[in-house]
Structures are given as C-alpha cells and as structure tokens.
Structure 1
Amino acid sequence: MGAKIDDIEYYLPKKIVNSSTLTEIFPDFDTEKIEDKIGVKERHIADDEETSLDLAYQASLRILNRTEKEAIDFIVFCTQTPDYILPTSACILQDRLGLSKSTGALDFNLGCSGYVYGLAICKGLLEAKIASKILFVTADTYSKYLHEEDKGNRSIFGDGASATIISYNETDNFGNFELGTDGSGFDKLIIKNGGSRNKIDASAEVKTYGDANKYTDNCIYMNGPEIFNFTINNIPKLIEDTLKKNNLQKENIDYFVFHQANKFMLNYLRKKSGIPSEKFHINLEKTGNTVSSTIPIALHEAIENGKIKKGDTILLAGFGVGLSWGATIIKL
C-alpha cells in the first residue's frame, strides 16, 4: 500500500517584473550577466493585497476543476509567508474551497525542501489510512519581505503556488525518503524580526551586504555564498544516499527535478553529481525561484513538454532555508 500523485497544477500572480524593470530601479543591473548566470528573465510578483493564501486558492481551484471535490479529506499547506500567525491557513482554505468539514487541515513551515517534506507527510497520512485523497498546496510570497533595494534577492525570487492531488494507492508510487537538517545554519537565510523573539522594528537599520544589496532585519537576508557552500557540500551526497536507499543507480532514473534555486547552482550540482543534461530540469526563466513551489511547477512543465512520461522514474530533491534538505523517488 502507498501513495500516488494524481494531478499537479500551479498559479502565478499576474504582475510581472522583468529584467528591464529591474534595470530602471538599479541602473548598474547587468541584465545579460544576471539572466545568463541566474537563469531568470521574469518574476511573477503578488499585488499588495494578494497573499499566499490567495495564490493557493487559485491553484486549488484549477486542480479541483479536474477532481471530485467531495473526495478530498485532507489539506496539507506548506508556506513560510502565511496570512496570519494564527489561525492555520489550511483551515481557511478548506472553507474558501467549500470542502467538507470532515476535512483534516494543517500547515507546515518549510521553504525550498518543502515539497519533498510535504510528499513524505502525505504518504504517511495515506499509509496510516488517516486520509485517502489529499490536497497538498505550496505557496509563498517572498517578495513581500524583500527590501526594495535588495538587488540580489529581487533578481532571484518570484511568487507562486502549486496544488497537488495525492491519493491512496495499492501500489506505492513513492520511494523511500532521505531527509536532513542542519539547524546551525538557520541564520544563513532568515527574517530576524516579526516573530516572538524579535518584534518588527519600524526604525530598523538599513544594512548592506554582498554587491551593495540592502536589507533590514524586518526583511529577508540571504548569505548567498554560505547557501551555495551548504548546497554543494550536501546535495551530491543526498542524491547518492537517496539512490542507495531505493536500491537504484543513476542510470535507472529517467528524469531529475531539483529545487530551482538558480541556473548556476543547478548546473554545478548536475555536473558534480554526474547527471546527463537531457535528464535534468532547469527552467526558472519565467518564474524565478518560487521557493516551495519550484519542484511541482517544474514537474508540471516537464510533463507538458514531454520530458516526463507516464511510468517514468523521477528523483526529486529540495534544499535550502533551515538549513534543510530532502529527496525521494516517484513514479507518475
């Protein structure tokens, strides 16, 4: 017994910030260099009144047009940018979608590894027969926490949401999971203010880091070099360990879908892990790094353009903020 993915959908906000827009804000913005290295030409950005829950709702509506709504008996919602500290966004989503009041609902806070962790949670719920058909949603609006003069992060991150239907299946289409954490690096990607430890500071000092990027402790801070080092030191081993845990070789994998962090990092990981380019997904061009939604968006794209076919064996890997990482094998 186990779990299978029935369907995947996603939603991107209508507002687009492209490279020419960023050049107007940052006159020294090297469009060609950024697009070539980071791989991003456009980012979809939520409006001021548009939230992660709104994006999740739209993604959910799209997928529920193809799904029997009455069969959904659990919502799992991954976000780091919830509408409220409390209550749980998944509870509000249940009501907005008109799902049964017998629907279970929970949020969890993870970023770039969130999709893989969410699949693990869903598999557990299904195997324990707590649920039979799950609406698994990811949504983040990092743009709301970026300093307006943070050129580096504004060139990378975009907003978006995904919705995945995962159901109980007699044949398990999910492999074994390999998950990990290094909380000693919690401050490498962080919003210091706004939680219980540090209140929002209306007069927070504007700080500079990297290539003249600016932020305050009310905003997202990312130590890019440290995140890169963490990734290259841990993710190739994660791939090896995941293959070993599933008794597979790289040659047995039809397609690899990693968290779409940035083009340079992905190419480095692909080469270091010895993965052929034709089996490896890189496409951030029109979305940017959408955090927990990059993997499902990539899966949707790869299915639509024929790179992933029914019955293919796919390795998924997510990694980043936390510091956190996770990987598994799936069949669609």
Structure 2
Amino acid sequence: MLQHSGIGVAITGSGSAAPLTSLDNQGLSQVVDTSDEWIASRTGIRQRHLADPAVYLRQLAAEAGQRALDMAGISALDVDLIVLATSTPDDLFGTASLVQAELGAMKAVAFDLTAACSGFVFGMVTASQFIRTGAYKTVLLLGADILSRWVDWSDRRTCVLFGDGAGAVVMQARSESDRLLGFELRSDGNQNSCLTLAYQPEAKALTSELSVGQGSFHPITMNGQEVYRFAIKRVPEVIEKALFKANLSVEQVDWLLLHQANQRILDAVAQRLTVPPDKVLSNMAKYGNTSAASIPIALDEAVRDGRIKPGDVVATAGFGAGLTWGAAIFQWGN
C-alpha cells in the first residue's frame, strides 16, 4: 500500500449521464459507408449517445455529479474541490467552474484536467493527493466529453468509435482506512501523433511585418493499429505495477475496469493478465468510446445494478491520446 500522511481516501458515490439522443450502427450506415456487422465485429460498439447542439458539457457533467452526490448522501455545499477531466470543454478557459455554478457547489474550488482517455484515472490520483495532504476532505471527480463535436463524420475509421457522456465519483477523506490502494501513471509524447485533436493555425496578418496564428482544431485523427498495439502492451504492464504497489495479486481483483475504447483491447488485456471474462466490465456496446467519461459511466452502472459491492477491489486503467496511460487499484465504498 502507498505510504501517506495517515489520511485515507474512500470512494463513496457514483453517477453518470448521457444525452437522450442515440445513433445505432444501422443509422450510422446512412451517414458513412459502414455496417452494423463491420463496426460490431471490430469494436464491440452497437450504438453511441450524441449530444444535440443545445446540450453543453457542463450540463452532462453536473447531472452525473448530482447523482454521485446523492448516492454519497451529501450536498453540493459539502464539496471542497471539483476536478473535471475533459478534452472537450465548453470554454477553453475551463468548464469546471461552470459545473460548480450549475451544481451550486459554491464552497468548492474547481479546475479542468486534460489527459484525454486517461483523464479520469489521472484525476483520481490528483484528487487523492489533495485529500491525503489534508487540504480538502471531499472531492467531486468528473469525467465528461462530447467528442461528437470533434469527429470527422466522413471518416469511417474514427466516426464509428466515439460517443458523448459524463460520469462522476465522490472521493472523501477517511482516517480509519484507505481505499485507493495503488496507482501508476505514464506519458510518452513521442507517440503523440497516434491520436490527436490538433490546433490548425491559419496565418492572419496584423501588420506588414507581423502575423499571428488563428484558426480552429482539426477533427480527431487516429492510427488505430498503433493505438491497439500500444494499449495491449502498456496497459497490462501498468496494471501489474499498480497491483505491486498495492501489494495485491491479479487473483485478488474482483473487477477489471478499462477505458471503453474497443472490445478487442479489453479482451486482449484481460487475457494477458489472466483475468476471466466475467470479471471484465464492458458497456461500450451502448456508449462507444466516451473518453474520460467511459470509466466512471461503466463504474456507475455496475454499482447501481449490484455487480460492484462495497469492499470489492477494482483495477482500472485509462489509455489514449498524449499518449498517456495509467492504472489505479481501489476498493469501492466506505
């Protein structure tokens, strides 16, 4: 177990939200040359939820956050810190403060954290540091993304993958126990080009001698084969390192909860770790890849339907753009 000041972390509530509108593979085949069989056999995805233009990230995040607060039995005014993991903010200056206002969590400080599909795991580790140092007692951690804003809907290699949604957990200080048992985080900017949502500058002349770059962001581009190879190699390694720090074996893990990127990746990672299929949580058939939201959405569903029970050990891992990847081992509940 990780050494710290004596203050532990408990994960006491979860929540999730998704846009009401969904698009199944058959409907997507009317947008781009593809089919349900092609998408499902390669990814495991059957449908995805898509936000209409009137839906904002802050609304989805606040809805998920309120459900997590309700499960934890606390009010928004009890929250000391809000961490929003997202790559698709409503405002590039930050959206966490908008979520704070939406919830009425006026005693909380709020900031965004960007680590793409690893964002929720990075956020969990970040939030735990504030709790363990005694700075804050109650943290609302959110993972939310509206990737449909940035998908090239003519690119069938990428547009079939992504969906929109939000998930949340409440993390609280505990003096008698620590439920965050171990973690490992990694980054490799040399592989950044494998998955990007990059700024595309256009020169704008201000004077005869001076130009600045203005423009927008290029839609998501991905080298799927490279991302697959990266994930099936690096994710098992990082989970094993986190388990070592937690002084646990793979056999002691009740649930494997990976970022919901592709069913083939989940299957390959589980196989390499010798985790049986019935311990692997997957909901990507309904949601697709929701980036930072995928882990907390799947967690919330498994908690609410009774699969994840208090005391269960969950090994979770995020991986994606950056490239970034990381794992956290935690026990659910107080």
For normalisation by structure 1, the TM-score amounts to 0.90
1:134 partnered with 2:139:
yes
**What residue in structure 1 maps to residue 207 of structure 2?**
none
Equivalents in 2 of 1:234, 1:269: separation in Å? 9
**What residue in structure 1 maps to residue 159 of structure 2?**
154
Higher strand share: 2
1:18 partnered with 2:33:
no
Residues 212-246 of structure 1: per-residue CA shift (max 9 Å, x gap): xxxxx621101111111111221121122122122
- Count of aligned pairs between the two proteins: 314
CA apart distance, 1:65: 4.0
Equivalents in 2 of 1:47, 1:295: separation in Å? 23
Residues 159-209 of structure 1: per-residue CA shift (max 9 Å, x gap): 0011211111121110121111111111111122257996426xxxxxxxx
In structure 2, the residue corresponding to 1:50 is in which secondary structure?
Answer: coil
In structure 2, the residue corresponding to 1:286 is in which secondary structure?
Answer: helix
**Which residues in structure 2 correspond to 1:272-291 (within 5 Å)?**
272-291=272-291
**What residue in structure 2 maps to residue 210 of structure 1?**
none
Equivalents in 1 of 2:129, 2:201: separation in Å? 30
Residues 95-143 of structure 1: per-residue CA shift (max 9 Å, x gap): 222222x321111111111111111111101111111111111111111
Residue type of the alignment partner of 1:98:
G
**What residue in structure 2 maps to residue 212 of structure 1?**
none
Equivalents in 1 of 2:149, 2:328: separation in Å? 31
- Single out whichever of 11-20 and 147-156 deviates more from structure 2: 147-156
Equivalents in 1 of 2:305, 2:76: separation in Å? 28
**Which residues in structure 2 correspond to 1:1-332 (within 5 Å)?**
1-26=7-32, 28-66=33-71, 67-86=74-93, 88-100=94-106, 102-170=107-175, 171-193=177-199, 199-200=214-215, 218-332=218-332
Is contact 1:193-1:199 (8 Å) kept? no
In structure 2, the residue corresponding to 1:257 is in which secondary structure?
Answer: strand
Equivalents in 2 of 1:247, 1:195: separation in Å? 48
For normalisation by structure 2, the TM-score amounts to 0.89
Residue type of the alignment partner of 1:157:
F
Equivalents in 2 of 1:69, 1:195: separation in Å? 40
**What residue in structure 2 maps to residue 209 of structure 1?**
none
Residues 56-80 of structure 1: per-residue CA shift (max 9 Å, x gap): 1222233344432221111111110
Equivalents in 2 of 1:191, 1:89: separation in Å? 18
Distance 1:274 1:195, change over 3 A: farther
Is contact 2:138-2:172 (8 Å) kept? yes
Is contact 2:12-2:169 (8 Å) kept? yes
Aligned-residue Cα RMSD (Å) equals 1.8
Distance 1:198 1:186, change over 3 A: farther
Is contact 1:52-1:79 (8 Å) kept? no
Identity across aligned pairs (percent)? 33
Equivalents in 2 of 1:195, 1:11: separation in Å? 34
Equivalents in 2 of 1:113, 1:147: separation in Å? 22
Equivalents in 1 of 2:128, 2:195: separation in Å? 28
Task: Note the residue ranges of structure 2 that are not aligned, 5 or more in a row.
Answer: 1-6, 203-211
Equivalents in 2 of 1:60, 1:103: separation in Å? 13
Is contact 2:77-2:108 (8 Å) kept? no
